[in-house]
Amino acid sequence: MRATTIVFALMASVALAGPASRPVKARQMEGVCNGSSCNVGGISWGCSTGKCTAQSGAGDGTPCGGPDYESISCPGS
């Protein structure tokens, strides 16, 4: 009986002594050029840097993206 109590106490203390959680970092959003914008998850976003047009060296289907919606990087110049 006493051993069972000790085992449960040890298991509870191990569960409480787990590592502290860290803040989640933003992930890279990946999309493809569609016309003159970058299509990420079905939504077209304007390019913050570069262009998505065929005349600039990129075109439909070319990969684009960024860390968030406000800094979308497109491959064309």
Structure token digits, residue 27: 């992930």
52 touches 37 (CB < 8 A):
yes
2: which residues sit within 8 A by CB, 6+ positions away? Answer: none
How many angstroms separate the CA atoms of 40 and 70, rounded? 12
> What pLDDT score was predicted for residue 31?
93
Structure token digits, residue 73: 């990087």
> What pLDDT score was predicted for residue 33?
94
Three-class DSSP category at 38: strand
Per-residue pLDDT of 10-67, as tens digits, reads: 676 665 555 667 776 667 889 999 989 999 999 999 999 999 999 998 889 999 999 9
Domain boundaries, the chain: 23-77
